[in-house]
Amino acid sequence: MIVSKIAWRFGAFILAAVHTLFVGLAPAAPGCPPEAVLKAKFKRDNVLVTMRRFDPRAEYTLDLIADGVPVESLPAKTNKKGRAKVQFERVRCGADRYEVSVRECGLEPARVKKRCVGGERPANDACADAVPLTVPTVVSGTTIGATVDFAPECRGVQNDSPGVWYRVVGNNREYTVSLCGGASYRTAISVYRGGCDGLVCETANASFCGDQSQVTFCALGFEPTVYWILIHSVQGEAGDFDLRLTQSQLECAAP
């Protein structure tokens, strides 16, 4: 009996010692030492972030902020010297101020130096500069270098990606706007009526034919009505496209 009690107490002591050892070795939450240095700069439309004198072998979260709004987050793991480099790729240009902050501490955000260079903006980057279209037609375009329009959400399709504009006048026919087979990235189409300062959703689509989009709508021509076509994406992507605009033979009526 005495031997059993001694063995039990010894075993409990060993378990307690092991528990204490592992708790002591558990990594502490990363912090930002007073000497920590955070720098960020643009390399065309990529943001390169450099971290120095942070906690060694620690995991951080970096937030890219555009005009006060967080737009993207990336993990950063420092080496044994407390250094790390992280790159935000293909940042959407257009904001007045870009910053990078470290989520785990109150370190002053790093102002991104230099300028976001996403290439020359397309001529129809803004709604007011929409390219007029006739029916039928096929035109080539690009959203590379375009800015984010933040036009009203339409049929569940968000407008948070670079986009370019076209306009067409209705003639009481069904119009079909298609990018099917004409782009190598995931596209979206949003169609509005009204004016650029008061856009009203008509229709939208982001996945009619795989990663490409297509919409069909009744284009009224009594007034006549101008329709604004925004070619964009839903994942921040940009690229070249071929837009095909066709019409039905029979007249249509608004639902």
pLDDT in single tens digits along all 255 residues of the chain? 544 444 445 454 444 444 444 334 434 567 789 999 999 998 877 899 999 999 999 999 999 998 888 888 999 999 999 999 999 987 777 777 899 999 998 889 999 987 777 667 899 999 999 999 999 999 999 998 888 888 999 999 998 888 999 999 999 999 999 999 999 889 999 999 999 999 999 999 999 999 999 999 999 988 789 999 999 998 788 889 999 999 999 999 877
Residue 27 lies in a domain: no
Please check whether residues 79 and 174 belong to one and the same domain.
no
CA distance linking residue 32 with residue 103, whole number of Å: 10
DSSP β-ladder status, 110-111 and 98-102: antiparallel
Q: What is the CATH number of the domain that holds 175?
A: 2.60.120.380
Residue 69 lies in a domain: yes
pLDDT value at position 13? 46
Residue 191 lies in a domain: yes
Residue 183 lies in a domain: yes
- Closest by CA to 47, choosing from 116, 95, 103, 104, is 116
pLDDT value at position 166? 99
Instruction: Check: CB of residue 226 under 8 Å from CB of residue 167.
Output: yes
Q: What is the number of structural domains in the chain?
A: 2
Please check whether residues 80 and 191 belong to one and the same domain.
no
CA distance linking residue 183 with residue 12, whole number of Å: 68
Q: What is the CATH number of the domain that holds 90?
A: 2.60.40
pLDDT value at position 161? 87
Place of tokens 């939450």: 29
Range of the domain at 237: 127-251
Residue 233 lies in a domain: yes
Please check whether residues 148 and 230 belong to one and the same domain.
yes
**Residue 224 CA to its chain's centroid (Å):** 36
Please check whether residues 85 and 148 belong to one and the same domain.
no
Given 57, 82, 111, the domain boundary residue is: 111
Given 53, 87, 111, the domain boundary residue is: 111
Given 58, 84, 111, the domain boundary residue is: 111
pLDDT value at position 160? 83
Provide the whole-model pTM: 0.58
Residues β-bridged to residue 178: 214, 244
Please check whether residues 154 and 96 belong to one and the same domain.
no
